[in-house]
Amino acid sequence: MTQIMPLSAEGWFANLFSSRAARDGKVLRRDLDHVDRYVGRERYYAELERRGFHAVENAGQVVIFCNQEPIRITL
């Protein structure tokens, strides 16, 4: 199934956070190029902070934790 990406920042956020995983408090993964293209880092960080979510970045990808639980890095 092909998904058409929204062109506005509001549409991008709506698409991202209306997913079942986000609604269920799970994790999402996105390409940082998409973050930059659709919303920009500053607005992205502000939205995560507004929602009380955390995220980690690695190798051009971002993993968003759609909950307010603490994050622990394990080896």
Please, what's the b/e burial string for 57-70 (b: 16 or more CB within 10 A of its CB; e: otherwise)? Answer: eeeeebebbbbeee
- pLDDT (tens, 9 = 90+) of the chain, 75 residues, equals 666 655 789 999 999 999 999 999 999 999 999 999 999 999 999 999 999 999 999 999 999 999 999 999 998
d(CA 43, CA 71): 22
d(CA 65, CA 26): 6
Amino acid at 45: Y
d(CA 52, CA 40): 18
The answer to whether 55 and 48 are in contact (CB under 8 A) is: yes
pLDDT given at position 21:
97
pLDDT given at position 75:
86
Per-domain residue ranges for the chain? 9-65
